[in-house]
Chain A
Amino acid sequence: MHLLKLILRNALRHKLRTLLTVLGLLVAILSFGLLQTVVDAWYSGAAAAAPDRLVTRSSVSLMVPLPAHYRDKIRAIDGVRAVAAANWFAGIYQEPKNFFPQFAIDAVSYLAMYPEYRIPDDQLRAFLRDRKGAVVGRKLAQTYGFKVGDVVPLRGTIFPGTWEFVVRAIYDGATPRTDTSQFFFHWDYLNESVRTRAPQRANQVGVFVVRVNDAGRAAEISAAIDAEFGNSAAETLTETEQAFQIGFVKQTEAIVIAIRIVSFVVIFIILAVMANTMAMTARERRAEYATLKALGFGPGFLGSLIFGESLAIALIGSALGVALTFPVAHWFGAKMGTLFPVFAVSASTVWLQAACAVVVGVAAAVIPALRAARVRIVDGLRAVG
């Protein structure tokens, strides 16, 4: 108890220095948390993938379409419960920087496969009735102020021309980790329009999302689908939704790795600051340490004094940093809008922050504690400043 009191008194002796150190820790732990959350956001698509969903695409690359009649062939394969087509639309809403994902989908079967997209029944019926209708996610609707009944014009980059869609439904995510920044409309509408404008590009599908009866048979069914179209004009590649999503992340892996590295650099920066604070503190108190030793306190006691002070400052600063991470992440996620569809602080991020705080607190105290333990009473008592 006395030790704890002494530690706290010591920590508050240089109020300005302690305050500055705590402030530095706060900034560092906060930015560490945000960077980790950015990395998490990168993987959010893969994290939200369901094990019973597969994605079939052209084996050449994602940009090569598949014939629409594959839909029926895939459905006929044993173990397949449902199939839905999806085309990446890549339209521009007003300005290129307003990016959000848009998909032309087989409405009924696709939405049935994604129960995590919660749509009110009346809105769903209205969407299914309207050929030019669209379903938008809650986050997307909030970002651009879309309301049910609004007309949204998109300028196509893959499918030329300006396309107008009427928002008929807004979906909510079943969990905070569900991506609600997407825009869905009818594949039939896209296909009909393409047929009149560029007939040779009609009846083409970007990917098929396949739902299987038994997630345990995913690998076997994937192989069966690919075998069905082997040696045809358009061979397919089928993988689980998770593998498909990770494939995207992997291609930008260099950026993810860079962010990861940088997030640890900030911890090193704050470690340098914290170690400096402790080194200065210990140097100024050499005479006291000598006095304590002269009174009979051992090196262990001095060590725990210094470690205790260092940990106390580190933990206070980090606790404030962790507490601030949540509101700041919320604000940042809202500001970024649809760029990061899911931006939520995960439990593992908080644990990592706490672990970093402990490591910084301990590491910063090592050298000063060693020095204090080794100080000779005579030298210490003689020391000035």
Chain B
Amino acid sequence: MGIPFSYTMRNLWTRRLTTVLTAGGMALVVFVFAAVQMLDTGLRQTLIATGQPDNIHVTRRSAAAEISSVVDRAQADVVESQPEIAIGAGGLRLVSKEVVVLITLPKHGTGVATNVTTRGVGEAAFDLRPQLRITEGRRFQPGATEVIVGTSIARRFDGAAVGSLLRFGGREWRVVGRFEAKGSAYDSEIWADADQLQQSFRRNAWSAVVARLADPATLPALKGRLETDPRLTLDVKSEREFFEEQSRVLSNFISYLGLTLSVIFSVGAMIGAMITMYAAVATRTGEIGTLRALGFRRSSILATFLLEATLLGVVGGVAGLLLASLMQLVQISTLNWQSFSELAFRFTLTPQIVAVSLGFAVLMGFVGGFLPAVRASRLSIVDALRAV
């Protein structure tokens, strides 16, 4: 027969200060554990949302990022003429030949010079990225020195509001519109007409070619053909895969660092739980003796103390998750090492993170409470009853 649940609850309540301190320590560990995963998830989601499933992304072979890629005009034309590529409303192929450069802008408030991806796009680019929506102003006119800016850029940089002038590449560019791209990496970009951008940066080649496939299933065949074509030195990837790779270094860094820290910190919290539970066992020796004398088994005593420790973990876990869920209001921006430019993303809480964090908290409580619970269950009745 088990010992009533209310016994455990009341024990935790009687030693409120100790319960709060122990659970508080665990809550902080769970907070770090959950926040790191939320950050990683936010980063991945941002970059995955950037890629459309049926788009392909073509860059120079082994170029790690768009800025170090060069696709010359002849090669880009070969890609454009492939039969797998979809045809748009106007009868033109859905291909955008793009040039990507970095410019430096001062961040709002701090004035820190920050790299911003500036993308010159063809007319099909807007059809290729249906997630992109103009929220203020209008699109740039082809052939004009006009730009549109992503929401994150407009918010975080000086002089990037609609109507202002940006100076780069030896020219002045008027900001004519602001766009929103569903939290993807494009929100941290500036877009302009590809030909204009190419001229001002004296480029004679493209950085990347983006195209829509009529049927996504044809990607492997197309990839195989283009990558073995001796005229071309290109990598062909699905857009989603390309952007996922862009996040890999940063994502690995965040998750490795976060996991290491959580494990180390949890040692501290488990020690806290252990101290609390050992003390609980020591002060309740008489009670344990009484319970045993009343006929409760060793296993019931073990279960009770384990339950108490696990409850401590649950309280800590819930508190930690509540703290962490507040982080969803925070947007952070940092340099993405692979694209070498600014990227903004949010802390994103998913049900999976909630489940894993709670599991982690329960595990901490369980592990911390295990040895004390074993000690409690192994007390002999007579000795325990004699203790004061």
A residues engaging B (CB < 8 A)?
A: 16-17, 20-21, 23-24, 27-28, 31, 35, 59-64, 90, 92, 96, 155-158, 160, 200, 233, 235, 237, 247-248, 250-255, 258-259, 262, 265-266, 268-270, 272-273, 275-277, 279-280, 284, 367, 384-385
Contact = CB atoms under 8 A, between A and B. Distances in A.
Given A157-B63, A160-B62, A63 B102 contact: yes
Nearest to B61: A160
A276 B102 contact: no
A247 B107 CA distance: 12
A90 B62 CA distance: 11
B7 interface: no
A90 B64 CA distance: 9
A63 B101 contact: yes
Nearest to B261: A262
B74 interface: no
A247 B340 CA distance: 13
Contacts of A262: 32, 261
B64 A96 contact: yes
A27 to B, nearest CB: 5
Contact of B272 (A90, A155, A248, A273): A273
Interface string B25-61: 1001101100000010000000000000000000011
Contacts of B269: 269, 273
Contact of A31 (B39, B60, B114, B261): B261
Given A61-B102, A160-B62, 4 more contacts: A258-B332, A266-B261, A266-B268, A273-B21
Contacts of B25: 269-270, 272-273, 276
Q: Chain A's interface: helix, strand, loop or mixed, by majority?
A: helix
A157 B60 CA distance: 9
A384 B387 CA distance: 12
B264 A63 contact: no
Contact residue range for chain B? 35 or more
Contacts of A273: 21-22, 25, 268-269, 271-272, 275
B149 interface: no
A282 to B, nearest CB: 10
Contact of A63 (B39, B67, B265): B67
15 contacts: A16-B278, A27-B271, A60-B102, A60-B168, A61-B102, A63-B101, A64-B201, A253-B112, A265-B265, A269-B29, A272-B21, A272-B24, A273-B21, A276-B22, A284-B279
A385 B14 CA distance: 13
B85 to A, nearest CB: 25
B334 A255 contact: yes
Contact of B113 (A156, A247, A277): A247
A197 to B, nearest CB: 11
A130 B17 CA distance: 72
A247 B112 contact: yes
B28 A27 contact: no
A8 B102 CA distance: 63
B267 interface: yes
